[in-house]
C-alpha cells in the first residue's frame, strides 16, 4: 500500500494494455518488493511468475506476461525511474486528488504531510496513571530490555524505540498500559474533567479515549457507538484496564434513541472523518477514500455535533476531535459549528496538529544523539476544538 502509486504508474508505463485486476495486483506487489534491498530481483521475478501461473486466476499466459514486463523493467530501470519522476502518484504514493488537496490547503507544508504519511510510525503507549507513574513504567520497560522515552506531546505517553508485541510489555495484561498515539492522548486532558461529572464518549469504539477518560478521573461515563461489534472492543478494553463505564449501542445523531433524557457535563465527539491524519498507520486509507468522502463525512459529522449539543448542559464542554488533516473536517467544521450555535464559545486548544515526519527509520539506523528528542515529539495528524456552552 505504501508503494501502490509507484506500482500503478509502472504498469501504465510498461504494459501496452491494461492487465486483468489479479495480474495487476501481483505486479504491484512485485514492484514493491523490487524497490526493497531485502529481496533479490531474480527471486522476486521467479516467485511472482510461479505464483501467478499456479493460481486458479492465473495461467501460463499470465506468467509469460508478468515475466516479460518485470524483466524489461529491470533491464531499463534507470529509464523508467526517470519517467516516474513526472508522475505525482508515483513520486508521493498518494492519489492525485489527495496531493492536490493538500497543496491547496497547506501550500507551505504539503510535502511534510505526505512524507509523514509514508513513514513507519513508532509504537506509542499510554501509561495507566491509576496504577503507576510514567517514570515508574519507563523504569519497568528498561528493566525488561525495552528502550523507550517519555513523549513531549502528552503527559502519559511513552514512545518505544522499536515496536514489540503487546504481550512483551510489562503489565499489559493487567491494564498497566495501552497502545495509543500521543496526539490521541490529548483528548482526555482537553475535556477538563472533574470528579463526579456525567461524561459522554460518542463514537467511542475502539475505546482508547474512553479508557483514558476513566483513567483520569472518577466520573459517570457512557460510551456510545452505533456498531455493537466495535462496542464490544470498548468493553474488552475497559475490562483489561479494570475500569468501569456504561457501554451502549446507538446513533449519536439520534439522541432520542439512547439519551433517555440525560444531559452531560462533558461530551467527547470523535466524529467520523477520512482518517487522513493516520495514513502512516493505515496505508490503505489513501487508496480507499474518494475526494467526495470529505464533504460527505463532514456533513455526517455536522449532524452528530448538532444532535450532541442538545445533550450538553449549560456551562458544559464538548470536544470535537478528528484524526484528519483536511480543514473541511477540522478547522472549517468548528468554525461552521460556532456560526450555527450562538451559545457556543470556542476555547483555546491545540487545533490542527499536522503529523510529525521526524525520521523514525533514521533513529533505528543511526546513532544520532539528536534523534531521541525528535522521536519524543512524534504524533499522528489530529484536530481538536473545545466548545463551551454558555450558561
pLDDT tens column, 273-286: 999 999 999 999 99
Q: Is 369 exposed, middle or buried (0-12, 13-18, 19+ CB in 10 A)?
A: exposed
- pLDDT at position 352, please? 94
CATH 1.10.940.10 residue ranges of the chain are 4-93
68-106 in b/e form (b: 16+ CB < 10 A) is: ebbeebeeeeeebeeebeebbbbebbbbeebbebbeebb
CATH 3.40.50.150 segments of the chain: 182-357+371-389
Q: Which CATH number fits domain 182-357+371-389: 3.30.2420.10, 3.30.70.240, 3.40.50.150, 3.40.1160.10?
A: 3.40.50.150
Write out the three cell numbers for 17.
Answer: 494494455
Ramachandran region, residue 127 (left: φ > 0; alpha: ψ -120 to 50; beta: rest) = beta
**Residues with active-site annotation:** 323
Contact 128, 178 (CB under 8 A): yes
* Residue 375, C-alpha cell as written in the block: 522521536
Predicted local confidence at residue 368, as pLDDT: 45
Q: Which residues have CB under 8 Å from 294's CB, separation 6+?
A: 101, 274, 326, 328, 329
Rounded to whole angstroms, the Cα distance separating 282 from 196 reads 37
Closest among 378, 388, 227 to 309, alpha carbons compared: 388
Q: Is the peptide bond before 223 cis (omega within 30 degrees of 0)?
A: no
CA separation for the pair 382, 369 (Å, rounded): 28
Residue 369: per-residue pLDDT: 44
pLDDT score, position 58: 64
Q: Which CATH number fits domain 4-93: 1.10.940.10, 3.40.50.920, 3.40.640.10, 3.40.50.300?
A: 1.10.940.10
Which regions of the chain are under pLDDT 50? 358-371
Using one digit for the tens of pLDDT, what is the confidence trace for 354-371? 997 544 434 344 444 444
Q: Considering the entire predicted model, what is its pTM? A: 0.91
pLDDT for the residue numbered 374: 62
Amino acid at each position: 500500500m505504501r508503494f501502490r502509486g509507484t506500482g500503478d504508474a509502472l504498469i501504465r508505463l510498461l504494459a501496452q494494455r491494461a492487465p486483468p485486476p489479479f495480474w495487476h495486483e501481483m505486479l504491484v506487489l512485485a514492484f514493491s518488493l523490487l524497490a526493497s534491498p531485502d529481496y533479490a530481483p531474480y527471486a522476486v521475478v521467479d516467485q511472482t511468475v510461479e505464483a501467478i501461473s499456479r493460481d486458479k486466476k492465473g495461467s501460463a499466459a499470465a506468467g509469460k506476461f508478468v515475466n516479460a514486463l518485470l524483466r524489461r523493467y529491470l533491464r531499463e530501470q534507470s529509464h523508467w525511474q526517470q519517467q516516474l519522476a513526472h508522475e505525482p502518484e508515483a513520486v508521493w504514493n498518494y492519489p492525485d486528488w489527495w496531493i492536490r488537496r493538500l497543496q491547496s490547503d497547506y501550500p507551505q507544508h504539503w510535502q511534510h504531510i505526505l512524507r509523514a504519511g509514508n513513514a513507519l510510525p513508532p509504537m506509542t503507549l499510554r501509561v495507566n496513571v491509576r496504577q503507576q507513574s510514567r517514570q515508574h513504567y519507563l523504569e519497568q520497560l528498561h528493566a525488561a530490555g525495552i528502550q523507550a522515552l517519555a513523549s513531549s506531546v502528552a503527559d502519559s505517553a511513552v514512545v518505544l524505540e522499536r515496536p514489540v508485541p503487546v504481550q512483551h510489555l510489562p503489565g499489559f495484561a493487567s491494564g498497566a498500559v495501552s497502545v495509543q498515539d500521543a496526539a490521541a492522548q490529548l483528548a482526555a486532558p482537553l475535556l477538563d474533567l472533574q470528579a463526579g461529572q456525567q461524561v459522554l464518549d460518542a463514537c467511542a469504539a475502539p475505546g482508547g479515549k474512553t479508557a483514558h477518560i476513566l483513567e483520569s478521573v472518577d466520573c459517570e461515563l457512557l460510551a456510545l457507538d452505533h456498531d455493537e461489534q466495535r462496542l464490544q472492543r470498548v468493553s474488552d478494553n475497559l475490562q483489561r484496564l479494570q475500569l468501569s463505564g456504561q457501554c451502549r449501542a446507538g446513533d449519536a445523531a439520534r439522541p432520542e434513541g439512547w439519551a433517555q433524557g440525560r444531559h452531560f457535563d462533558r461530551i467527547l465527539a470523535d466524529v467520523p472523518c477520512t482518517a487522513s491524519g493516520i495514513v502512516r498507520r493505515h496505508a490503505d486509507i489513501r487508496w480507499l477514500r474518494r475526494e467526495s468522502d470529505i464533504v460527505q463525512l463532514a456533513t455526517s459529522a455536522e449532524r452528530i455535533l448538532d444532535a450532541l449539543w442538545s445533550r450538553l448542559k449549560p456551562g458544559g464542554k464538548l470536544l470535537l476531535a478528528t484524526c484528519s488533516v483536511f480543514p473541511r473536517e477540522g478547522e472549517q467544521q468548528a468554525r461552521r459549528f460556532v456560526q450555527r450555535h450562538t451559545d457556543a464559545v470556542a476555547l483555546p486548544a491545540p487545533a490542527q496538529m499536522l503529523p510529525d515526519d521526524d525520521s523514525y527509520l533514521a533513529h533505528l539506523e543511526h546513532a544520532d544523539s539528536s534523534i531521541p528528542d525528535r522521536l519524543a515529539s512524534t504524533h499522528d495528524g489530529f484536530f481538536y476544538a473545545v466548545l463551551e456552552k454558555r450558561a
